Amino acid sequence: MKKRILPILLGLLALAAALIGTNYWQKNYLAGVSTLQIPVPKADIPPYTLLTADLFETQEVPRALTSRGGYVLSANELDGKISAGTLLAGLPVPVRMAVPSEDFRLAGPALEVISLPADAVRAAGAQIKIGEAINLYLLKPAPKQDQTETNAPAPEPEVAFVARVPVVDVLSDNGLPLSSGNNNDQPQPMKILVIAAPHETVQTILDALALVQHEGAILWVTLATP
């Protein structure tokens, strides 16, 4: 009797082990070959493109392709970012190829980025840092008085407000960071302010710079009030 029971028990154990092994293999196999939906470009997207959801469509790919990360899994992750290189149609989008606008071009996609000449005397003693807001003023010299109008009051210089803008970078000569000079890495004097502004504001600033270049006006920079 005992001799009959033992083979039966061994057979049951072998069957249980086979069932457990089959279930384990099936789960792992399905995990390896199962698919998921990810966004891919409908057509090739060139670099420096503002990404929107309508540029992408979903495509089914093996889950194993994204198991190690590195690819964008949702169109929501792409919306509002900028392509750092060409995104090929029908292929998954690498995370490093879709970056926030501020990281790629110093400012949001609605703002233009422009540089201004600046020095310590006319720019708050060079105490201007990235992220601060500044006010730009234009100091216009007094127009020349007509010598025939001897009784006319002398013309006066004019101070005009130009714009309030955020500072996105502060540089020395030739676009170098203030801390990277050629004299044993000594800090360099501020010479360039990089700011961001809407197109209309940039046009106003350029008009003011034209007066600085051609009519002897002076651009003055102050730290804006919070």
Q: Are strands 133-140 and 158-171 parallel, antiparallel or unpaired?
A: antiparallel
User: Which residue spans within 45-187 are E strands per DSSP?
Assistant: 56-62, 81-83, 98-100, 112-117, 133-140, 158-171
What does the mean pLDDT of the chain come to?
84
Task: Please report whether residue 192 resides in a domain.
Answer: yes
Task: Please report whether residue 23 resides in a domain.
Answer: no
Task: Please report whether residue 7 resides in a domain.
Answer: no
Task: Please report whether residue 28 resides in a domain.
Answer: no
Please check whether residues 179 and 216 belong to one and the same domain.
Answer: yes
Please check whether residues 217 and 184 belong to one and the same domain.
Answer: yes
Please check whether residues 175 and 139 belong to one and the same domain.
Answer: yes
Please check whether residues 69 and 92 belong to one and the same domain.
Answer: yes
Task: Please report whether residue 12 resides in a domain.
Answer: no
Please check whether residues 93 and 189 belong to one and the same domain.
Answer: no
Predicted local confidence at residue 155, as pLDDT: 67
- Residue 161 in 3-state DSSP? strand
- The distance of Cα 71 from the centroid of its chain, to the nearest Å, equals 19
- Residue 89: left if φ>0, alpha if ψ -120 to 50, beta else—which one? beta
Query: Which CATH number covers residue 63?
Result: 3.90.1210.10
Residue 140 token pair: 């216009």
pLDDT digits (tens, 9 = 90+) for 113-168: 999 999 999 999 999 999 999 999 999 987 776 666 666 666 678 999 999 999 99
Predicted local confidence at residue 43, as pLDDT: 96
Q: Quick one: pLDDT band at residue 112, thresholds 50, 70, 90?
A: very high
Please check whether residues 93 and 117 belong to one and the same domain.
Answer: no
pLDDT digits (tens, 9 = 90+) for 49-68: 999 999 999 999 887 777 67
- Alpha-carbon distances, residue 166 vs 123, 196, 206 (angstroms): 14, 6, 16
d(CA 73, CA 93): 8
Predicted local confidence at residue 173, as pLDDT: 85
How many Cα atoms sit within 13 Å of 24 on the Cβ side?
6
Predicted local confidence at residue 24, as pLDDT: 59
pLDDT digits (tens, 9 = 90+) for 170-225: 999 888 888 654 555 666 889 999 999 999 999 999 999 999 999 889 999 999 99
Please check whether residues 83 and 60 belong to one and the same domain.
Answer: yes
How many Cα atoms sit within 13 Å of 168 on the Cβ side?
19
Task: Please report whether residue 17 resides in a domain.
Answer: no
Please check whether residues 182 and 215 belong to one and the same domain.
Answer: yes
Task: Please report whether residue 116 resides in a domain.
Answer: yes
Please check whether residues 218 and 126 belong to one and the same domain.
Answer: yes
- Alpha-carbon distances, residue 27 vs 20, 66, 127, 207 (angstroms): 11, 18, 63, 68
- Residue 182 in 3-state DSSP? coil
d(CA 143, CA 158): 9
Please check whether residues 84 and 117 belong to one and the same domain.
Answer: no
Query: What domain range includes position 188?
Result: 112-144+155-223
Please check whether residues 117 and 84 belong to one and the same domain.
Answer: no
Domain count, the chain: 2
pTM for this one? Answer: 0.71
Rounded mean pLDDT, 30-44: 82
- CA 12, 18, 20, 23 dihedral sign is negative
Task: Please report whether residue 210 resides in a domain.
Answer: yes
Q: Quick one: pLDDT band at residue 83, thresholds 50, 70, 90?
A: very high
Please check whether residues 88 and 178 belong to one and the same domain.
Answer: no
